[in-house]
């Protein structure tokens, strides 16, 4: 039998079932035929079929993402905190919708500036947002009456916002909900998680938890890139006071 000499050429290799295997050198293909381990199918291009079946390992399937196309309602406290939070949830496979409900933010001008900043940013990143109408500061102030201390009032504030988010998520058929509050190192993450999970049970929708604080440093770059208004305080009257006057002793921060 006359073979064409081409040391760099590759031969096509099939197994006994006709399935394509990895190509091999023409020299090795010729040896297989001479050894009776393969038969020549054609000379151009050189193709041989093995006399035995080869067990081809199955291609490992990638682990499914936590989101995997699920719809998640993201409570957004402000546009800066939404930067990394939205990006991360999308990386996890979620279809993200924002939810604006922040009755704690004081004064009204601050509430509107944060809301408008989020509205512009949402357009830039193609983020749908559900907007809670009105300004619920009166209900917020009544709720924290007698509980103005740091952490004590924060727990009530978290619960108000998470409860409403869970309710909307359940009513609108979302698979899960979460909050941008989880990105801030200044918020009580364990408390937020406990309250979120409890609200989820009440409204039949899962609270998705991830420690988003790992994106806290990265979010500053996005804030600069998109020229987002970045506030100086959490939102409520007391947090503004404490941020500007650390000597304020009526409602001191806990150690």
The CATH number of whichever domain residue 228 belongs to comes to 3.40.50.620
Q: Is a pLDDT exceeding 80 seen at residue 57? A: no
| Residue 254 counted as domain residue | no
Are the CB atoms for 155 and 178 separated by under 8 Å? no
Alpha helix locations (H) across the chain? Answer: 26-34, 79-91, 108-124, 137-144, 152-171, 189-203, 216-226, 237-244
pLDDT tens, position by position, 77-129: 999 999 999 999 999 999 999 999 999 999 999 999 999 999 999 999 999 99
Query: How many separate domains does the chain show?
Result: 2
pLDDT of residue 89: 97
Q: Please report whether residue 227 resides in a domain.
A: yes
pLDDT attached to residue 162: 98
In this structure, the answer to whether residues 212 and 103 fall within a common structural domain is: yes
Given a cut of 70, whether residue 200 has pLDDT beyond it is yes
- pLDDT band for position 248 (50/70/90)? low
**Quick check: 35 pLDDT over 60?**
yes
Residues 225 and 123 in one domain: yes
85-118: b (≥16 Cβ within 10 Å) or e: bbbbbeebebebbbbbbbbbbbeeebbeebbebb
| 119 and 191 in a common domain | yes
pLDDT in tens, 202-228: 999 999 999 999 999 989 999 999 999
Residues 100 and 145 in one domain: yes
The answer on 116 and 23 residing in a single domain is no
| Predicted local confidence at residue 252, as pLDDT | 45
Of 44, 26, 47, 174, residue with least CA distance to 98: 174
The answer on 236 and 138 residing in a single domain is yes
| 255 part of a folded domain | no
Q: What's the whole-model pTM score?
A: 0.75
For residue 1, name the pLDDT band (cuts at 50, 70, 90): very low
| 75 lies in the same domain as 130 | yes
Q: Do 141 and 36 reside in the same domain of the chain?
A: no
Residue 91: both structure tokens together: 């990386």
Domain check: are 99 and 215 in the same one? yes
Query: What's the pLDDT at 144?
Result: 94
Same domain assignment for residues 38 and 97: no
Radius of gyration of the chain (CA): 30
Domain extent at residue 81: 71-244
How confident is the model at residue 37, as a pLDDT? 86
Span of 13-27, 141-155, 207-221 with lowest mean pLDDT: 13-27
Mean pLDDT of all residues in 126-139: 97
213 part of a folded domain? yes
40 and 110 co-located in one domain: no
Residue 84 sits in the same domain as residue 35: no
Any idea which residue has 């590759």 for tokens?
Answer: 10
């Amino acid at each position: 039998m006359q073979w064409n000499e081409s040391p760099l050429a590759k031969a096509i290799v099939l197994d006994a079932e006709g399935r394509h295997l990895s190509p091999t050198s023409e020299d090795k293909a010729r040896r297989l035929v001479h050894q009776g381990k393969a038969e020549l199918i054609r000379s151009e291009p050189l193709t041989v079929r093995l006399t035995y079946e080869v067990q081809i390992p199955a291609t490992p399937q990638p682990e499914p993402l936590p989101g995997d196309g699920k719809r998640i309602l993201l409570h957004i406290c402000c546009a800066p905190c939404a930067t990394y939070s939205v990006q991360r949830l999308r990386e996890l496979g979620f279809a993200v919708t924002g939810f604006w409900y922040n009755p704690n933010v004081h004064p009204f001008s601050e509430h509107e500036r944060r809301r408008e900043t989020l509205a512009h940013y949402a357009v830039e990143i193609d983020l749908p947002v559900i907007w809670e109408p009105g300004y619920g500061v009166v209900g917020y102030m009544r709720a924290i009456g007698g509980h103005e201390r740091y952490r004590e009032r924060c727990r009530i504030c978290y619960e108000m916002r998470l409860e409403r988010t869970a309710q909307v998520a359940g009513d609108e058929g979302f698979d899960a909900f979460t909050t941008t509050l989880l990105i801030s190192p200044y918020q009580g993450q364990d408390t937020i998680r406990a309250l979120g999970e409890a609200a989820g049970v009440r409204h039949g929708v899962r609270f998705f938890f991830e420690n988003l604080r790992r994106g806290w440093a990265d979010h500053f770059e996005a804030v600069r890139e998109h020229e987002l208004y970045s506030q100086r305080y959490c939102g409520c009257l007391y947090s503004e006071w404490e941020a500007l006057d650390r000597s304020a002793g009526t409602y001191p921060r806990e150690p």
